[in-house]
Amino acid sequence: MGWQEAETISPISRPRPASSRLLSMVLRRAGNRGFTRGFTFVELIFIVALIVIVAAVSIPQFKRSFDSLVLQNFISDFTAFAGYAQAKAVSGGSEVRINIDLPQKRLLTEDHIVSQDDSGQPLEAWAAGKERRIPDSVSVDLKGGADKVTFYPDGSSDKAEFGISGKYDKKYTVSVEPGTGYVNVKQTE
């Protein structure tokens, strides 16, 4: 027998196990009925419902985190604002104060200007300087009723204390030390 006379077994004629035949039959029938691989409408509705539930639970937490960041940023800005006013008072040789304007929700630096009128009488005035808005989600409580903190040319300041809080549970006490003008921030419960 030559090589041409040898019996060859093709993969098609090889007997297949019953499970393989059943699987190929099911797949052929499924293909004939138009089934394709993908998601059903019910599965898509389920996924959309799951996304809506996760969003409904997490959005309030994101809002709370954002408001907390706004509060932290304002406290940092207030501290920097006080440092700026103190440095300006020392370098300029005149008083500088921070005015906390609650009705307009802003912080404002004011420079003390002393001049003379035509008759030689001293005139004193406060000129507006830098301004910083107080965010709507932040409330400032003026402890002791003082809405101004004055920084002097020697680096000292008036004693002042403020309560600063956000919409949620965080509250801080910000105090300005009179001898050094140092701003202290403490979280309170």
Write 86-95 long-range contacts (CB < 8 A, 24+): 86/151, 86/155, 86/157, 86/181, 88/129, 88/151, 89/151, 89/152, 89/153, 89/155, 90/151, 90/153, 90/154, 90/155, 92/153, 93/153, 94/153, 95/150, 95/151, 95/152, 95/153
Range of the domain at 166: 55-188
Domain presence at residue 35: no
pLDDT tens column, 36-47: 577 889 989 999
17/135: higher pLDDT: 135
Domain presence at residue 88: yes
Domain presence at residue 30: no
pLDDT tens column, 74-131: 999 989 988 999 999 999 888 998 999 999 999 988 888 877 777 878 778 888 888 8
Domain presence at residue 43: no
Domain presence at residue 166: yes
Domain presence at residue 36: no
Domain presence at residue 182: yes
Question: Residue 148 maps to which CATH number?
Answer: 3.55.40.10
Q: In the chain, how many domains are there? A: 1
Domain presence at residue 15: no
